[in-house]
Structure 1
Amino acid sequence: MDGTEQVIVDFRSSWQFVRGLTRDFVEQTPQDRYAFSPHARFGSMDRQFRHVLQVTDLYTDTLRSRVLSMPTKFARYGGSLDRDDLLAGLERADAELSAVVDELGAEAVAANYQFGDTAMGIGELFDVFIEHEANHHGLWSAYAAVGGWSTPESWRDAWDL
């Protein structure tokens, strides 16, 4: 396996892990807690879920254009804050991201990606994708603790959260 393939394999493995945890949380958060927020500064659970879906679209567009452009975050998800719509949206966004990752060649892996004022290599960009998702996991575990519901078993097994 060459370096290009390894970067992609490593990202896919990490993304599958963190996105699996995300899906578990979306699926297992009680419906009556979807509108819950622990503080006015933080979006409700359903808005948090929509945010990670929209950011996945942003990642896809960033890989295509090599420039992070915040307006694209809002361009493709037109669904509601309903669990089924959010899960369908995550499935669609993940399929699109996977297709773009499939198309990455050596040139794309060697390229720089503009993330605000920072130029990043593909490995760094993939790390940001994973880190962003994991940051939300930390928030969500706090939401669940304050809001009075349990995190999914996968979260307790992986992180003891």
Structure 2
Amino acid sequence: MEEQGKTFDATDLRILAILLKDSRTPLQEISAAIKLSTTSCWNRIKRMTDSGVIEAYTVKLDLARLGYHDTVIVQVTLDSHSDETLYEFGRALESMPEVLEALLISGDYDYFLRIAVKDTRDYERLLRERLYKIPGIRHSKSSFVLRTLKKAETPLT
């Protein structure tokens, strides 16, 4: 793997795999697992953080335990592709915490949204009160996720 002219080796990838499983893994445990001194291990982590390979340390939430039992995939087509329309659509989505992910895509639709909702009534409310009030939406198509077969944040996992 290479990032901005810097090469990352198998040891770096092993460190990243450990951090992906649990970003709170103590440095001593990471060092022991990869058979490297804590100083060398820390230097590698710092280099990957400074170069932007490690963007953030975060937590994964079980959305169902928080009451969000359903995930909806929404494909959206906009009326216009002007910079202003795209900007305003993006701003509107940022204000909607239920929207977990928004991707600008190629093909028949313009956007692919992943939305967390409590149930179908919650989704219907979200459509009426928030999503369909965003100017410029020409068409949307919704699909409820029945089961997640694989979920990875990176090809390393």
Q: Normalised by the shorter chain, which TM-score bucket?
A: under 0.3
TM-score scaled by structure 1? 0.24
**Which one has more relative contact order, counting CA pairs under 8 Å at least 6 apart?**
1
Please identify the structure whose Cα radius of gyration is greater: 2
TM-score scaled by structure 2? 0.25
Flag the structure with higher helix content.
Answer: 1
Flag the structure with higher strand content.
Answer: 2
